[in-house]
Structure 1
């Protein structure tokens, strides 16, 4: 069910924004069925993925979206000086600090 909802959001965003590409990924802890790490851990992986995508489409707007931990990390990545995000879409932002 969870994958269905995120795939639906991916398609809705792609259609409504007339996107060139929508890149999706999971953090490593998800496939290992571990509890989520602190938000600082996946920043490098997330940032690298965003930079590769932005380099592939340099003249297109960059919109980051995430669910839960992905929202938090997207906000952190968008705040980096080297990332020029046009928007950040947060689908469930974890406000509790662990």
Structure 2
């Protein structure tokens, strides 16, 4: 029995405006491999997972996980600090 590896490759690609073919070319894999990865039909080697994370300039755990990632909007968004007055207080 193999465990599913969840990933955010499609989300990261969309966020960066990168096509499957562009990502595949940068990684040195076939573009269909990117599709298989995104759909969870293929688990990457450690080397490929690290290269994907490096491509997106994020930690590998921001791309891959053993549990499903929360849906976008489900994660609490930290509030921005309010404006400071001229004394530097809020």
Q: Tell whether the structures are fold-level matches, with TM greater than 0.5.
A: no
TM (norm. structure 2) is 0.27
Q: RCO (CA 8 Å, sep 6+): is it higher in 1 or 2? A: 2
Where is the strand percentage greater, Structure 1 or Structure 2? 1
TM (norm. structure 1) is 0.25
